[in-house]
Amino acid sequence: MESIGIGTLAKLAGVGIDTVRYYERAGLVAPSRRLASGYRRYTTHELTRLRFIRRAQALGFSLKEVRELLAITAQRDVARVKRSAQAKLADVEQRIAALDKVRDALTTLIAACPGHGRTSDCPILKALGEEDT
């Protein structure tokens, strides 16, 4: 691919131009070169990198974690990549367990609430107003 501008890069990567600029400021992507006019020019390398970043984010990796994955990838350390993915999975499973507890508590409260009457009798409001002991 010949070099392309930021608009084309953003479109091909499925992101906005501001996202590309944000990733540049964060040090995740850099233009392969600049024209004398100052316009940024990109190649397939930057497109591949942008797609990598977006896919990693879709899997729940933060930008800090993406930066680490990119560094590990550059070192070709597959074992560390796997450990990072395992750590992310453990984090996701913890969050799912916490959300399951929230769902169960809300389900119980909603089932106990008649949806009418005095607010002082509402089990949802009572549960929210209880002191932690």
pLDDT digits (tens, 9 = 90+) for 73-95: 888 889 999 999 999 999 999 99
> Which of the 8 DSSP states describes residue 120?
G
Give the global pTM. 0.73
Find the range with the poorest average confidence among 8-12, 98-102, 119-123: 119-123
Contact between 17 and 7 (Cβ < 8 Å): yes
Q: How confident is the model at residue 50 (pLDDT cuts 50, 70, 90)?
A: very high
| Rounded percentage of the chain residues whose pLDDT exceeds 70 | 97
pLDDT above 80 for 60: yes
Contact between 123 and 109 (Cβ < 8 Å): yes
Give, in order, the Cα–Cα distances in Å from 34 to each of 4, 38, 42, 43, 45. 11, 5, 9, 12, 15
